[in-house]
Each structure stands twice: as C-alpha cells, then as structure tokens.
C-alpha cells in the first residue's frame, strides 16, 4: 500500500515508517501537526508531540518526500476513550490534514503512526482513518518496549531527548542526549519506578536527527535553549527550544526511474512542504440516514422466519434463520438483511439495541459471497450504534441450503447492561490481526471473555501463514494468546471452551496434526505461564471440532475460545471440588451407566460457569436404542435408527444427560446462555425430525419436572455441519450438544 506517515519528529513515528517499508509498503508523503504559534514549543495536547516542531520542516528534504503540515486549531474537547466526531476537537485537525493529503495523492490507502501503548491515540487515528477510508498501520503497537528501544538504536535511529518529565530524569543532565546514551539509565528507572522505557507515559520525548530513511541529509542541531516548566519539583519538566540547525548532505541521493515518475503525478512535489488550511468540517448525517433508510426498507416475511431464544433474563442468545428461502432469495446478502432486521426488531422489543450485543455468530451458505454479506452486515451494525464497542464475531460457511435453512443464519448473545469491555484494534500491526470493520477482537463481560474467531493470519501482512493447517492453527492460537494477554490472561490457563472450525479443504491426515499442534502449543504456553510466576489456576478446557465447508480467506482452521477472567485471580475458585448433592431422577427409563460419562466433556467454575459438550456417536446411538423395550441390538444401526424414529429416543437421552450434569453441578436450565445442537447433513436426518424431537423432549421434561419451564420459542439452536466431534481425527458424532450456563 502507498502510505502517508504521521510524523512528530520522534523516534517512534520514524521507526514506524521503517517497519511499514519492511512489510512491503511505500511511504509517499509525510503529515505533521504543529502549534499555531511558532514560538510555542509544547501544547496542552493529549494527542500530539510538538516539541521540536521547528525542525520538522527539514524532513521533506531529508527524505525527499512531500510534507503536509497543519497548524492545530482545535483543543481537547472529547476526552472519553472512544472518540466521537467533535467539531473543534484537535482530532479534527488530523482529519482535515489527512483529507487534503488524500485529495492531492489519491493513490494513498494507508496511514502510518508510532502508537505503542496509548489506546487514546490509537483509537483517534483509527477513527480518522475509518472516516477517510484509509487503513491504519501501527507496527509498534503492543511491542515490548525494552526490545523496541534496542531495535530502534540497532537499526540506525539517531534521536535526542527534547523533553524530560519523569523522576530520575534531570533536564540539566539528560536533555539533548542521544537515546543510545540513555538506554541503561532508562532501564534502571524502569526497575526503580516502573517508567516506560520508550517514553509512552510521557516520561520523555525525542527528536530524530538521522535514520536510514533520511537518504538525502541528516539534521545537525547547532544551538538550543533549555526551558524549564516546573523547576525544583521531584520530576522537573524541561524542553528544548531549537535556536539554530542545519542539514548535512549525504552522498547517497535517491533517483526516480522514468516509470516511477510516470506512475504518480504527485512525485514532482517530493521534498516540497504544503501548508494545509481550512475550517473544521460539519458533521454529516448522510451516511447515518442512508443506513437507516436501507435497514428500514428491508421487507420481513414472518411466514418463513424462525427464531430461538434462551430464557435467561440478564444475558441470553437469540437465533434467527429463514426457511426455504433459496427459491426467492437473490443471495446471502438478501437473507442476511431480513434476518438482521428481524433480530433488530426482537432487540427493540426488549428495549435493547445492537449496543447490547456481546457476540455474533455469522453463518452463511457461500463464502464466495462474504464481501457482499459484509456490506449488508455493516449497514446494520455500526460503531455509531454501538458506542460501548461493536460485538465480537465469528464467520463460517455452513451447509444451510441442504437443510432449507436459507442462505444466512445469525446467533447473537445479548446482555441487559453496558458493562462490557471491548477490544477493537483496527490498525494493522505486529501484535494480532486487525479488525478492519465493525467487529472486535474480544468482548469481556462479567468475567467471561468472548473472543472473535481467529484465523492463522500473520498480523503485519494480514495474510494466511504458510505451512498448511497445523501452521495456521499455531498462528491462530498465537493470535488468540496475544488478545488474551491484553486482558491479563492466557488461553492456556483461562480457556473454558475451544471451538475449532476445520475447513473441508483440510486433508484428513492433517486433522490429526491439528490436534497434536494444539496440544503441544497449550502445553508450552502453560509452562511459560508457570515460568512467569502466574498465580492463575489452570482450567481444564473442553474441545469441540467442527468440520465446515469453508472459512474466511479460504483458511484451513478458525479458533474460537471462550475464557474465564476472574476479577480476583488469586482467590477465584476455578474448578468444582464438591458437586451438588442434588440427585436427578431417572427420566424416560434412563438409569445412570458408566458409559454415559464418556459422552460428556464439562468445564465447571463452581457457582459461576457450567460448559458442557455432549457427543453422541453411532455406537452411542446403538446403546441408547438397544436399551429401549422391544428393540434388539442387531436391528439398530445408524441408517435404520433414524428411519425407524429412534431419533426421539436419542434426543431424550441428550436432554436427560444435559439435565443431569447441570443439576448435579448446581445449575438449572434457566441459567443457560446458549444451547447448540450440531448435526451432520450427510446423516440424512431431516431438520424437522431433529427439531420436533428436541422440542418434544423438552416439553416432556417440563411435564416431569416443575422446575423446568418451556417458553414459546425453543431455547436451542440447530446448526447443520459436515461433521463434529471431540477429536479432530474422528469428527463422527451423530449429534453434538454444546451448552453454556452461568450464574450472576
């Protein structure tokens, strides 16, 4: 991509440019924001470094690139973390500046910035980029600051301190010194006082005088004045005011080929400086109105809309799909619009909106339609509608049409409060894959971390890693770990459930390697956590492997973890020691047998969470049906069990066993947040048969037990798949039930 780099003069913005080039991008312009008054060194700004701004003008000549500059007219008006377009705010100066750069150089598609740890700054750059249709590049984001500082020095960044403002940094001793000279002292201050060695906490600011990007000249600061802002305090604040400087030419000067000159008319401006003026733009409501009109125009046909909903009041799931839409639908995007509109209406009926949604499962019939599906999705779910953060999301292709479930199928998890903590990083970085769009990497709500589906994407390039399915899985788990670390946890110790979606493109022999890679990765990560002295108690997660037709970007694997992140990690109880003494009565003639336990995986956090995966294989079907009166073992096989109506018996067993597990662990059906039933379409089980059998079983349970209540809508979601199982090598379940319950 062609990139405009935001430059402050500091080491971070310069090194961010170097990293952008390393990952294949081209810096074609520079952009800088400076004080309205040249005599002012530093503004009271939460966003911009301005100390040394008098020298930035020389960057155009040093790099041979056009430099666009704007004097800052705004101030800090919108101070909350998530930025909202605010006329008169200093962020709007950046918008005006980058808008003009884009106008003059239309080929620019990305913006580079030096953000390392400040969510405040990153979110504002991302907001401006989103409004301008540009990609944010933040290759220093979340990098280890000690390693990063050494990288900068090793890779030729020559920068001096132009501001110090931290205990242990003395303006008289440390201003104007090269960062290479101060490295040891900065690390000592980190040990003593916990400062940020890269100055991310405002401890110091730098000015780059030379680096490999300065191909034409280096900067020599001849004379400067030290200005003290708070002399005599514990942490004296001092800045440098440049008085004289000059450029020292280098021998190597870049030359442009004829092809380069012909390809971009803006190249004649290289080395020039452009002053960008203009007033603050008026906020436009056109996009919002257009979105509203579009969503309101969606026609909802109730006769083919189906819905399910769990009974929990404070947090529940709603699922919506269409029946037999393939004959009338123009594609997945049309079905999705109908489903999203109906979900929106359902939410409104409870007094909720999209801002209350924590997580969205997006199931589509054809991954080739993903682009148009996403266009429809973003018409409904926007950052404007979700001021507390857009929901996290996973997207997979399912064999929906084979069972007449339409082309789009949506499941949303909803909470009745806005206490969620959303991680939504849109910048491309080396940290984890970006979410360039209205979905988030993860959403933390009431100690449960709902993580977006993770592919095996290389974060800085956003390309699938090489090496096949097992390599993709390792990368996806590494990406999941990076996200988990932001919430001070690890997938190796805090995971409750891992859902592993495997593409049908994955060769069967590779599926075993996937599980081996997963086991070894989690084992290594647990050892690493122990080496770090982690006090978190290790959960024993449960695993579900689901074979699907396709995944985004034609990936082999997608990982979807759910984590438990206790508010008090030291005192949290993370396993069941004494299950409830409550005894579940025998239902439908089922009596506990030892083989029942082999059907169940569970992860229980006592008094808080109960996660269950129930696997019904062909052998289990035979055992269930052979226990029925009048049925001989030799008469029961997989094919005949369905045709003879034994699916009702199987679903009764599923309900019986789920009921037994949740009751014995102190939970109830009313605690259920989600209940999914996966079935392979190749089994030949009609969807109607499965749905009716499950409905009948739940109704019968309610008749036998007054504690169980059945509402108008079913609480279960039926999910058609190619295959599912508790092992990647043997996804041979006839039925798989996934239940997640929790107490508040």
Q: Is residue 259 part of a domain?
A: no
Q: Is a pLDDT exceeding 60 seen at residue 166? A: yes
Handedness of CA 627, 630, 632, 637 (dihedral sign): negative
Are 11 and 40 part of one and the same domain?
yes
Q: Is residue 297 part of a domain?
A: no
Are 444 and 347 part of one and the same domain?
no
Write the burial class of residue 566 (CB in 10 Å: 0-12 exposed, 13-18 middle, 19+ buried).
middle
Q: Is residue 611 part of a domain?
A: yes
Per-residue pLDDT tens for 551-590? 999 999 999 999 999 987 554 444 443 444 455 567 888 8
pTM of the model: 0.89
Are 61 and 194 part of one and the same domain?
yes
Q: Is a pLDDT exceeding 80 seen at residue 534? A: no
- Of the three residues 418, 437, 455, the one that is the final residue of a domain is 418
Q: What is the pLDDT of residue 579?
A: 44
Per-residue pLDDT tens for 456-497? 999 999 999 999 999 999 999 999 999 999 999 999 999 999
Least confident of 40-44, 100-104, 445-449: 40-44
Q: Is residue 315 part of a domain?
A: yes
Q: Which residues pair with 740 in a beta bridge?
A: 611, 674
Q: Which residues of 622-654 are buried (b: 16+ CB within 10 A; e: fewer)?
A: bbbbeeeeebeeeebeeeebbeeebbbbbbbbb
Are 87 and 103 part of one and the same domain?
yes
Per-residue pLDDT tens for 53-92? 999 999 999 999 999 999 999 888 888 888 888 899 999 9
- Of the three residues 397, 418, 439, the one that is the final residue of a domain is 418
Are 106 and 198 part of one and the same domain?
yes
Are 426 and 411 part of one and the same domain?
no
Q: Is residue 577 part of a domain?
A: no
With tokens 């004494």, the residue in question is: 578
- Of the three residues 508, 539, 572, the one that is the final residue of a domain is 572
Residue 510, domain CATH = 3.30.1330.40
Number of domains in the chain: 4
Q: Which residues of 285-313 are buried (b: 16+ CB within 10 A; e: fewer)?
A: eeeeeebeeeeeebeeeeebbbebbbbbe
Domain hosting 67: range is 2-251
How far apart are alpha carbons 616 and 741 in whole angstroms? Answer: 20
Under a CB-based contact definition with an 8 Å cutoff, are residues 161 and 174 in contact?
A: yes
How far apart are alpha carbons 655 and 700 in whole angstroms? Answer: 10
Q: Is residue 566 part of a domain?
A: yes
Question: Looking at 199-352, which runs of residues are DSSP E strands?
Answer: 204-210, 217-228, 238-249, 273-275, 305-309, 315-322
Q: What is the pLDDT of residue 531?
A: 75
Are 567 and 714 part of one and the same domain?
no
Mean pLDDT, the chain, as a whole number?
87
Are 375 and 325 part of one and the same domain?
yes
Under a CB-based contact definition with an 8 Å cutoff, are residues 642 and 624 in contact?
A: no
Query: pLDDT-based confidence at 260, cuts 50/70/90?
Result: very low
Q: Is residue 581 part of a domain?
A: no
Are 337 and 216 part of one and the same domain?
no
Are 556 and 672 part of one and the same domain?
no
Under a CB-based contact definition with an 8 Å cutoff, are residues 110 and 422 in contact?
A: no
Residue 62, domain CATH = 3.40.50.620
Nearest Cα to Cα of residue 374 among 425, 322, 435: 435
Q: Is residue 272 part of a domain?
A: no
Q: Is a pLDDT exceeding 90 seen at residue 293? A: no
Are 608 and 697 part of one and the same domain?
yes
Q: 720: helix, coil or strand?
A: strand
Are 110 and 242 part of one and the same domain?
yes
């Amino acid at each position: 991509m062609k990139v405009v780099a935001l430059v402050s003069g500091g080491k971070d913005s310069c090194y961010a440019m170097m990293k952008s080039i390393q990952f294949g991008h081209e810096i074609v312009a520079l952009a800088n924001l400076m004080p309205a008054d040249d005599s002012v060194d530093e503004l009271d700004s939460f966003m911009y470094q301005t100390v040394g701004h008098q020298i930035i003008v020389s960057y155009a000549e040093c790099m041979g690139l056009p430099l666009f500059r704007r004097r800052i007219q705004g101030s800090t008006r919108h101070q909350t973390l998530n930025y909202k377009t605010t006329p008169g705010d200093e962020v709007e100066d950046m918008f005006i500046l980058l808008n003009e750069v884009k106008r003059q150089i239309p080929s620019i598609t990305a913006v580079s910035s030096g953000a390392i740890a400040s969510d405040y700054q990153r979110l504002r750059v991302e907001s401006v980029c989103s409004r301008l249709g540009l990609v944010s590049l933040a290759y220093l984001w979340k990098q280890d600051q000690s390693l990063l500082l050494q990288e900068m020095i090793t890779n030729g960044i020559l920068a001096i301190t132009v501001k110090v403002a931290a205990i242990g940094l003395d303006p008289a001793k440390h201003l104007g010194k090269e960062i290479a000279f101060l490295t040891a002292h900065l690390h000592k201050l980190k040990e003593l006082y916990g400062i940020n060695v890269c100055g991310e906490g405002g401890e110091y600011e730098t000015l780059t005088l030379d680096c490999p990007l300065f191909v034409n000249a280096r900067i020599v600061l001849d004379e400067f004045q030290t200005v003290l802002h708070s002399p005599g305090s514990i942490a004296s604040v001092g800045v440098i005011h440049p008085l004289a400087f000059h450029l020292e030419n280098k021998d190597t000067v870049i030359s442009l080929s004829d092809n380069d000159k012909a390809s971009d008319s803006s190249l004649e401006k290289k080395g020039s400086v452009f002053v960008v003026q203009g007033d603050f733009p008026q906020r436009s409501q056109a996009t919002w109105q257009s979105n509203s009109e579009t969503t309101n125009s969606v026609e909802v046909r109730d006769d083919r809309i189906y819905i399910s909903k769990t009974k929990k009041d404070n947090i529940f799931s709603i699922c919506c799909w269409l029946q037999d839409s393939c004959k009338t639908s123009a594609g997945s995007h049309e079905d999705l619009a109908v489903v999203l509109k109906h979900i929106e209406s359902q939410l409104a009926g409870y007094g909720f909106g999209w801002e209350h949604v924590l997580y969205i499962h997006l199931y589509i019939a054809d991954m080739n339609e993903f682009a148009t599906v996403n266009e429809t999705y973003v018409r409904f779910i926007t950052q404007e509608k979700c001021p507390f953060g857009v929901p996290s999301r996973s997207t997979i292709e399912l064999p929906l049409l084979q069972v007449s479930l339409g082309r789009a199928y949506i499941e949303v998890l909803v909470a009745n409060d806005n206490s969620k903590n959303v991680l939504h990083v849109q910048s491309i970085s080396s940290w984890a894959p970006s979410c360039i769009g209205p979905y988030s990497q993860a959403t933390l709500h009431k100690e449960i971390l709902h993580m977006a589906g993770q592919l095996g994407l290389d974060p800085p390039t956003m390309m699938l890693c090489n090496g096949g399915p097992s390599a993709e899985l390792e990368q996806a788990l590494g990406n999941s770990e990076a996200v988990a670390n932001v919430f001070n946890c690890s997938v190796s110790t805090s995971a409750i459930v891992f859902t592993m979606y495997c593409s049908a493109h994955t060769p069967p022999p590779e599926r075993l390697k996937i599980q081996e890679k997963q086991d070894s990765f989690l084992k290594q990560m647990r050892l690493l956590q122990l080496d770090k002295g982690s006090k978190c108690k290790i959960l024993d997660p449960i695993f579900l492997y689901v074979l699907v037709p396709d995944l985004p970007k034609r990936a082999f694997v997608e990982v979807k973890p759910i984590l438990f992140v206790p508010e008090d990690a030291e005192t949290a109880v993370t396993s069941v020691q004494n299950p409830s003494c409550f005894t579940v009565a025998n239902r439908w003639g089922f009596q506990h047998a030892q083989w029942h336990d082999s059907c169940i995986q569970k992860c229980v956090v006592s008094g808080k969470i109960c996660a269950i995966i129930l696997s019904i294989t062909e052998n289990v079907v035979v055992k269930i049906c052979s226990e029925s009166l009048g049925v001989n073992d030799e008469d029961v096989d997989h094919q005949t069990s369905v045709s003879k109506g034994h699916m009702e018996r199987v679903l009764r067993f599923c309900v019986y066993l789920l009921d037994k597990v949740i009751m014995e662990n102190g939970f109830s059906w009313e605690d259920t947040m989600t209940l999914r039933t996966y079935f392979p379409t190749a089994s030949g089980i009609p969807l109607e048969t499965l749905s009716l059998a499950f409905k009948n079983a739940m109704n019968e349970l309610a008749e036998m037990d007054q504690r169980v209540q059945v509402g108008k809508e079913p609480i279960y979601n039926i999910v058609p798949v190619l295959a599912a199982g508790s092992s990647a090598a043997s996804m041979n379940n006839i039925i798989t039930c996934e239940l997640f319950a929790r107490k508040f």
